Chain A
Amino acid sequence: MQPLLDIQGVRKQFGKTLALEDARLTIQRGEVHALIGQNGAGKSTLIKVLTGVHQRDGGDITFNDQPCLFSRPAQAQEAGIATIYQELNLVGLRSVTENIVMGREPRRLGGFIDWKRAHQQASDILAGLGVDIDVRRPLEEYSTAIQQLVAIARAVSRDAMLVIMDEPTSSLDESEVLQLFEAIRRLQQRGTAVLYVSHFLDELFEICDHVTIMRNGAWVADHAISDTRKAVLVADMLGKDVNDIETHGATDFGGALEPVGELLFEARDIATRRHLRCASLQVHRGEIVGLAGLLGSGRTEVARAVFGMDALSDGQMSLEGGSYRPVNASAAIHQGIALLAEDRKREGIVADLSVRENLTLSILPSLCKGVQIDHEAERKLVEHYIEALQIKVSDMDQPIRELSGGNQQKVLLARWLATEPQLLILDEPTRGVDIGARQEIQRIIQDYRAQGGAVLLISSEFDELIEGAHRVVVMHEGRSIDTLNNPGLTESTLVAALSGGQPPTSDDGRGMQKASVRPSTSRETQA
C-alpha cells in the first residue's frame, strides 16, 4: 500500500541559511510516527513546509496519493492535514464548541448556525476521545491538556488523515500525558496517522510506531521503534557513534574540586508545574555550575524557578543560608539573582533604545538623583562597562538593534552585571554569537566568577561546560539525575549522562575533548 505521506529531498532556504537540505519523511496510514532532532535540526521548518506556512524550494511531497503544494494553511487542512501547534491555535474566549466546529458549523435553513447540533457534535467528538466537559464554556476555562484535546477534536471533526502534534506534552503533567496518549490511541484506531514531534525520548517508546531522526536540516535515519534503543536515537540526533555513548571509559583524572567559596544557593527537590519534576543543586560563591540536558529536560525550568518566574509546587530553595522563596522575578532581583534569558530578541533587548538606555534599564532607580536620572553617573557607568566588556559601539547612544548579536549579548550581560548580582543565571549565553564574541563573553563570565560571583550556566555547548564549569548538573525529563565534576568531565561522559539511560557516577572522569551537542552552524530560523 502507498504510504499516506511521502516527503523526499525537500529543500528550504531562508535568505542565505539553508534550513532544510534533504528532508525525508514517510508515514504509513494509521501509524504514530515520531520526528526527532536537536534544536535547529529543521523539524519545525519541515512541518511548516508540509502545512503550507512556508513554500519549499525543492523536493517532492506526496500526500494521500496526490502530489501536493500547499500555499496556505487552509489548503493543507482541506487536504486532511491538521496541525496542533505548540502554542495552541485556538481562541480562548470562544466556547469549546466553536473552537471545534468553526469554519464548518452545522447550519439551519437560512444559513443560521444550528447551535444545538453544533454542541452535540462537539461533545460527541470529545466523548470519542474520552473527554467529557461542558462544551458551552469558554475554552480558556479549561487546562492546557483539555485545550490540546479540543485541538485534536477539531482535527477529528475535519476528518483529518494526518494530525501533526508539535511538542504536545511539553506543558502537561504526567496524568495529562496519559490522557493525551489515550486520545492518540483512539485516533489511531480510527485510522488517523499522527506525526509526533517531541524532545522526550521515553515517550516515543510508549506511543510511537516509527521514528525519523533529523540533523542539520537533513534526514539521518528511520527506525521502527521496536527495533531501536534510546542510545541509538541520541547518537543519531547528535551525530555521534553509538558505542561512544554506551561505553564510556573509566579513567579517573581527578576528583571533585573543592568548592571555591562558601555555599550561596541550594535547591532541594524542587518541582514546578512546568515540566520540572525534581531537581537539586548547589552553587557556591566563585563557582560556575553547569546545567546540561537535552531540550525539554527542564534546564530552563530550573532557571525560571530560581528566578521566581514559576512558583514551586514542591521542594525548597535557600540563599545565603536563609530560606529563599521569590514570589516573582522582581523579588529575585532584589535578592541578588540575575537571569540572562535565552531568547535575546524577545526577552532581553529593547531594539529601538540606545545601548546606554538598554544597559541601565534594570538599575535606573539607583541612578536617580531626586526624581531625575543622574546622566553624569549613567554615562560613567555605561563607559565603564563598554570598556570592561569591550562592547563595540560607535557611541553609547547608538540604537542597540544596529549591534551584532555578540555585542547585544554583552550589553545585556552588562545590564545584569550592573545590578551586582550574587548569582548570575545564564541561559545559552553564547547562542547565535560568533566565535570571537563567544570567547569574550566566556571571559566576562570568568572574570565575574573570579570576583566571587556565582554562576549557573545553562548550555548546549559541550566545550563551554567542559571548559567553564566546576561541576555540571545533568537534567533529564525534569529531574536532576547526576552531578559530574570537573576536571574529569568529557564529551562522552556528558553524552552518556544526557541520554539518561545509565548515568555514570559522578567520579567517572575522562580525557578532555571538545564537541558540541548542537550543530556548529546554528539555525535560528527554527526557533
Chain B
Amino acid sequence: MTTLVRRHIADHGQSTGVMIGVLLLILLGTLRYDNFASLYNLSSFLNYNAMFVLITMGMCLVIMTGGIDLSVGTVAALSSVTAAGFSAHGLEVALPVGVLTGLAAGALNAFMIVIMRIPPFIATLATLLAAKGTALVISDARTVPVDWASNFTQLGMNNVAGWLPWSMLLTVVVGIALWLLVEHRPLGRVMLAAGDNEDTANLMGLSSGWARTWAYVICGGCAGLAGVFLASGFGAGQPLEGLGWELTAIASVVVGGTLLTGGRGSIPASVAGALMLGLIFNLLNFENGLGTFNLSAYWQMVIRGAFLFIVILLQVKITRPLAGD
C-alpha cells in the first residue's frame, strides 16, 4: 500500500503537491485576510500573473527539451515596446506585432542553438542582451506611452464577466493548446524524448532538432505575448522591465516538478508553480497590510528564496527514495 502511494506521488506527486499547495495558500489567505477573497484581488492577481504564467509555460517547453531560455524577460520588454509603438493601430495590429517580436527572438535562439550548436545558456544570454539593447534603442530608454484612445489597453485592463481578465483568458487558451501539444501531439513527445537523450531520439529516427526549434520559437512567442500584456496592463511599453523574469520562470518550472536536465515536464504543474510563487508574493503583501510587521520588498525576496529551497528539498526527499528500489 505504501509503495502504491509512494509510486503515485512519484508519478503525479509533484503536480498534485503543487496544486494542493496552491489550494492551501488560497485557504490561508481567505481565512487570514479580509479582502483576499475579493473579486478585486482575484482579478488583479490573475491579471498580473498572466504574464508570468505565460513565460513559465514557454520556459517549461524549453527546459523539457533539456535547454534553457534566459532571454524571456528582456524579449517581453522588447515586445512591450514594439506593441506599444503600434498601439494606435489597435489591438488587432499591436498584439500580432508584439507576438511576432517574440517569435522572431525565439527563432533567433533556435537558429543559434539548433543550427549553430551554441549552448543554450550562452545563446539565450546573447539574445537577452540584444533584446534589452534593442528595446532601449527604439524607445530611447524611456517608457513608450500607449494610445489610450485605441482598444489596446482593454486587453490588460478589462475583465470578462467582471472578474476574469482578458489577459488570463488568453493565457488559459494558450495553456490548453500547449498542454495538448505536450501530452497528445507527437511533436510534444519528441520534445520530451529529445530532452531525455538527444542522440537516442535521433537514432530512433525522430527529428529532435525540429522539436527543439519549436520549443524555442513557442517560448519566444509566449514572451512576446507577455510583453503585450505588460504594455497593455501598465499603459506603456517598458524597455527596462523583464530582468529577473527568466529566473522567476525557471523557479516556477522547477517548483512544478520539471527536471532541469530535460526529459520530463508538465504544463499544468508549471502553471501551478507560477501561481504558487505569485500567491506567496500576494500573501506577503496582505501580511504587510495587516500591519503586524513590515516586510520590505527585499525581505520578501529572501522569503521567496527560502520557500523555493524548501520546495526543492521536499522534491528531492519525496522522489529520491523511490529511485533506489
Which residues of B in the span 164-215 have a Cβ within 8 Å of any Cβ on A? 180, 184-186, 189-190, 192-193, 196-197, 199-206
Question: Chain A residues with Cβ under 8 A from B186's Cβ?
Answer: 102-103, 105, 111, 113
Question: Chain A residues with Cβ under 8 A from B264's Cβ?
Answer: 93
The interface stretch among A24-32, A83-91, A238-246 is: A83-91
Measured CA separation A102–B201 after assembly (Å): 9
Question: Chain B residues with Cβ under 8 A from A85's Cβ?
Answer: 203
The answer to whether A112 touches B185, judged by C-beta atoms less than 8 angstroms apart, is: yes
The answer to whether B189 touches A113, judged by C-beta atoms less than 8 angstroms apart, is: yes
Question: Chain A residues with Cβ under 8 A from B197's Cβ?
Answer: 91-92
- Given A77-B205, A93-B264 in contact, is the A105-B200 Cβ separation under 8 Å? no
Is A74 engaged at the interface, CB distance under 8 Å to the other chain? yes
The answer to whether A92 touches B205, judged by C-beta atoms less than 8 angstroms apart, is: no
Question: Chain A residues with Cβ under 8 A from B201's Cβ?
Answer: 91
Question: Chain B residues with Cβ under 8 A from A93's Cβ?
Answer: 192, 196, 259, 263-264
- Given A73-B205, A85-B203, A93-B263 in contact, is the A102-B189 Cβ separation under 8 Å? yes
Measured CA separation A438–B23 after assembly (Å): 69
Measured CA separation A482–B322 after assembly (Å): 43
Measured CA separation A92–B263 after assembly (Å): 9
Measured CA separation A93–B197 after assembly (Å): 9
The answer to whether B202 touches A73, judged by C-beta atoms less than 8 angstroms apart, is: yes
Is A94 engaged at the interface, CB distance under 8 Å to the other chain? yes
The answer to whether B185 touches A111, judged by C-beta atoms less than 8 angstroms apart, is: yes
Q: Which of A73, A90, A92, A94 contacts B189 (CB 8 A)?
A: A94
Question: Chain B residues with Cβ under 8 A from A102's Cβ?
Answer: 186, 189-190, 193, 204, 206
How would residues 243 to 264 of chain B score, 1 for a CB under 8 Å from any chain A CB and 0 otherwise? 0000000000000000100011
Is A287 engaged at the interface, CB distance under 8 Å to the other chain? no
Chain B nearest Cβ from A89, distance in angstroms: 4
Chain B nearest Cβ from A174, distance in angstroms: 23
Measured CA separation A98–B259 after assembly (Å): 19
The answer to whether B180 touches A112, judged by C-beta atoms less than 8 angstroms apart, is: yes
- Given A102-B204, A103-B205 in contact, is the A92-B196 Cβ separation under 8 Å? yes
Measured CA separation A83–B201 after assembly (Å): 14
Question: Chain A residues with Cβ under 8 A from B199's Cβ?
Answer: 89
Measured CA separation A92–B186 after assembly (Å): 17
Measured CA separation A98–B194 after assembly (Å): 13
The answer to whether B205 touches A94, judged by C-beta atoms less than 8 angstroms apart, is: no
Question: Chain A residues with Cβ under 8 A from B204's Cβ?
Answer: 89-91, 102-103, 154
Chain A nearest Cβ from B8, distance in angstroms: 12
Which residues of A in the span 67-84 have a Cβ within 8 Å of any Cβ on B? 73-74, 77-78, 83
How would residues 264 to 298 of chain B score, 1 for a CB under 8 Å from any chain A CB and 0 otherwise? 10000000000000000000000000000000000
Measured CA separation A78–B185 after assembly (Å): 22
Q: Which residue of B lies closest to A51 (CB)?
A: B203
Question: Chain B residues with Cβ under 8 A from A94's Cβ?
Answer: 189, 192-193, 196, 263
Which residues of A in the span 15-68 have a Cβ within 8 Å of any Cβ on B? none
Measured CA separation A358–B259 after assembly (Å): 34
Interface residues on A, range: 20 to 34
Query: Which DSSP category, helix, strand, loop or mixed, fits chain B's interface?
Result: helix
Chain A nearest Cβ from B22, distance in angstroms: 25
Q: Which residue of B lies closest to A89 (CB)?
A: B203
The answer to whether B190 touches A73, judged by C-beta atoms less than 8 angstroms apart, is: no
Chain B nearest Cβ from A147, distance in angstroms: 12
The answer to whether A112 touches B192, judged by C-beta atoms less than 8 angstroms apart, is: no
Measured CA separation A103–B186 after assembly (Å): 7
Measured CA separation A42–B181 after assembly (Å): 43
The answer to whether A91 touches B263, judged by C-beta atoms less than 8 angstroms apart, is: yes
Question: Chain A residues with Cβ under 8 A from B184's Cβ?
Answer: 112-113, 115
Which residues of A in the span 145-175 have a Cβ within 8 Å of any Cβ on B? 154
The answer to whether B185 touches A91, judged by C-beta atoms less than 8 angstroms apart, is: no
Q: Which residue of B lies closest to A98 (CB)?
A: B189
Q: Which of B185, B192, B200 contacts A113 (CB 8 A)?
A: B185
The answer to whether A91 touches B196, judged by C-beta atoms less than 8 angstroms apart, is: yes
Q: Tell which of A73, A102, A154 has the most Cβ of chain B within 10 Å.
A: A102
Question: Chain B residues with Cβ under 8 A from A115's Cβ?
Answer: 184
Measured CA separation A85–B203 after assembly (Å): 10
Chain B nearest Cβ from A216, distance in angstroms: 28
The answer to whether A103 touches B206, judged by C-beta atoms less than 8 angstroms apart, is: yes
Measured CA separation A105–B204 after assembly (Å): 13
Measured CA separation A297–B206 after assembly (Å): 36
Question: Chain A residues with Cβ under 8 A from B206's Cβ?
Answer: 102-103
Which residues of A in the span 89-134 have a Cβ within 8 Å of any Cβ on B? 89-94, 98, 102-103, 105, 111-113, 115
Measured CA separation A89–B259 after assembly (Å): 21
Q: Which residue of A lies closest to B264 (CB)?
A: A93
Chain A nearest Cβ from B9, distance in angstroms: 15
Measured CA separation A113–B181 after assembly (Å): 10
Question: Chain B residues with Cβ under 8 A from A98's Cβ?
Answer: 189, 193
Measured CA separation A92–B323 after assembly (Å): 13
Measured CA separation A183–B140 after assembly (Å): 70
Q: Which residue of A lies closest to B263 (CB)?
A: A93
Measured CA separation A77–B180 after assembly (Å): 29
Q: Which of A74, A78, A83, A90 contacts B200 (CB 8 A)?
A: A90
Q: Which residue of B lies closest to A158 (CB)?
A: B205
Question: Chain A residues with Cβ under 8 A from B190's Cβ?
Answer: 102
Measured CA separation A261–B89 after assembly (Å): 94
Question: Chain B residues with Cβ under 8 A from A113's Cβ?
Answer: 184-186, 189
Q: Which residue of B lies closest to A73 (CB)?
A: B203
Measured CA separation A91–B196 after assembly (Å): 6
Chain A nearest Cβ from B134, distance in angstroms: 36
Measured CA separation A118–B259 after assembly (Å): 25
Measured CA separation A105–B184 after assembly (Å): 10
Question: Chain B residues with Cβ under 8 A from A92's Cβ?
Answer: 196-197
Q: Which residue of A lies closest to B259 (CB)?
A: A93
Measured CA separation A111–B192 after assembly (Å): 18
Measured CA separation A115–B203 after assembly (Å): 23
The answer to whether A89 touches B189, judged by C-beta atoms less than 8 angstroms apart, is: no
Measured CA separation A154–B190 after assembly (Å): 16
Measured CA separation A231–B263 after assembly (Å): 48
Question: Chain A residues with Cβ under 8 A from B196's Cβ?
Answer: 91-94
Chain A nearest Cβ from B49, distance in angstroms: 29
Question: Chain B residues with Cβ under 8 A from A111's Cβ?
Answer: 185-186
The answer to whether A91 touches B200, judged by C-beta atoms less than 8 angstroms apart, is: yes
Question: Chain A residues with Cβ under 8 A from B203's Cβ?
Answer: 73, 83, 85, 89
Measured CA separation A102–B186 after assembly (Å): 8
Measured CA separation A98–B190 after assembly (Å): 10
Measured CA separation A90–B206 after assembly (Å): 11
Measured CA separation A93–B204 after assembly (Å): 15
Measured CA separation A73–B200 after assembly (Å): 11
Measured CA separation A73–B203 after assembly (Å): 6
Q: Tell which of A90, A91, A94, A111 has the most Cβ of chain B within 10 Å.
A: A91
Measured CA separation A85–B202 after assembly (Å): 13
Question: Chain A residues with Cβ under 8 A from B263's Cβ?
Answer: 91, 93-94
Q: Which residue of B lies closest to A74 (CB)?
A: B205
Measured CA separation A73–B201 after assembly (Å): 11
Question: Chain A residues with Cβ under 8 A from B180's Cβ?
Answer: 112
How would residues 141 to 185 of chain B score, 1 for a CB under 8 Å from any chain A CB and 0 otherwise? 000000000000000000000000000000000000000100011
Can you report 17 residue pairs joining A to B where beta carbons are below 8 Å apart?
Answer: A73-B203, A73-B205, A74-B205, A83-B203, A85-B203, A90-B200, A90-B204, A91-B192, A91-B197, A91-B204, A93-B264, A94-B263, A98-B189, A102-B189, A102-B190, A112-B184, A113-B189
7 A-B pairs closest in CB distance: A74-B205, A89-B203, A91-B196, A93-B263, A112-B184, A91-B193, A93-B196
Beyond the given pairs A98-B189, A113-B186, 14 more chain A to chain B contacts, judged by CB atoms under 8 angstroms and listed by A's residue number, are A73-B205, A78-B205, A89-B199, A89-B200, A91-B193, A91-B204, A92-B196, A93-B192, A93-B196, A93-B263, A94-B192, A102-B186, A102-B190, A111-B186
